Structure 1
């Protein structure tokens, strides 16, 4: 699965396309496909609803940069995610004497999903920029570098579609039952039923992140009456290997099209879906392409998994500049959001208790995880 965010960011004027080797062992498939080609044109509305579906599956804290925007890439954070997903987490990975912060321009953004478990992830194509571009960046120069002076950091905005997300119960995953849908959710996302019928029912067709159609029988029955998905639901549960605790999302686009997504209760065993690391996790030289790109002044690709790590290692330039322009001091109080398994999002207060390099030997003067903070429990964070 893949969607070209560059086109969506430009109001969907171009068709969704397939770029790179998405069908060459990467474990992903195109958002839209046909029997004759890996890629096919879709409407801007269809592109938009797929974008919303990807974001819903990724979680509420994910943010993505726009094409052409300036960002700050933290190789230290990239290594951290790679090590956490590696089968050899205690092995030493070379740093190639990279700078702790690398300024880059975003060349391309791709949204992907693992075929085996539907976990979503991103591939970013970045182009290194000269050191310290923050100097003398005013007016026209901000525009040339893709910096948003309004302060959103060049993040791709998202609308709020008709959507509901439900954590599956034991009854929902039983092969002898069906999926119980809250009435308000059913009436908001599904086509209206004819309640004049003795047993109101209809067929629903929903596409998942890979463009696969799933057909369900939507019926309103029982005592008291409730909305259920029956025929087709057990097949979906079985083929997706869903269990109690997983979550299912339904989204309805403005044109009435229905989309379907999944959020696993337990994250992949190795952090990042198996399809992401490919060559990167098997080889410990994850930063080698970055070092080569900087020396040759060329582009490089990185993978990011929003559900493998709660911290982002590609930060909007504007956010970075705001952070270093107003540095935190010991005793500073703050609030931050984070996602938990129990709730989609929580807000927590804390206080800065220390400032310093996480790894002063390998990454001196790094801004990655440079704050020590205290919540109800002890945490170490990157940004506040």
Structure 2
């Protein structure tokens, strides 16, 4: 049965009224009234794009949130089945990633929702199941937990439980994650490992503006549900030349950012810039580091990491999330299984501590350049 988006949003609003009130420390959210009923569009071919060739495409210097905005603009422009919704997205969102999109494409395609993450994701699953591109924004990754059941029990299993007769592959859930410098335990968490445990969804985390644009467009157009975590620390701090056109970067394909021979370093998101600085400092002491950006955590590129470790004989994984049960543990176990006879030192992990994310003590919690450099030296001299 097909229903209008106006009708679907009214259901979502009722869901919000029935949900327990959440005490979010973000700006208040107003409900949007959609102008007219919008018919759910039938299936049509996606715009074809490919990874741009280096030096062959015009580029513009952008920060990360502007690159995200550009990707969302392209997604809405190239596919009329695409919709963006979440708390405060109508005026641009907390981090301004959706600025001007409602003015350009209309409030029936970019609209605010009630403050109810379970309702946002539930609505997104239904919209995607009707052959649309649902791009749902969770204001902070820390707020994603009320929607956990919808993501892991509904979205992830939709295709499997129907024997591939139905799916919600057009679903992308965007969420700012990680340290922000002053967020404390409700605005700085890194929950990626929770979702990496769930078959049926993909987990993608970019490290820079150009990566964010290409990976987000690939996620939106992928035929599987994707949880797309954006490193909020980099929204304004990370700036680079970004291809101006429509392009996609491959999911589940790691990138070797820096080649080396002595030790392999693996990370994702904002942690890559920290790790890169550690690699530079290590090179001054004669240690050659190979640095790999995983980019997609599930399904992750084991082959690239395995080939690197077989060459270097050592591995270090770093992430902001707590060390116990973090995704670094999965990487460590997999590489030990595959490369045991080539390892010349135990796999090292430089991660967050097993505590709630602190506020005043954030500098002590974070896996810093010096912590990583010390771990590199220890591994190389083992």
- Structure with bigger RCO (C-alpha 8 Å, 6+ apart): 1
Say which one has the larger Rg. Answer: 1
TM-score bin (small chain): under 0.3
Counting strand residues as a fraction of each chain, which structure ranks higher? 1
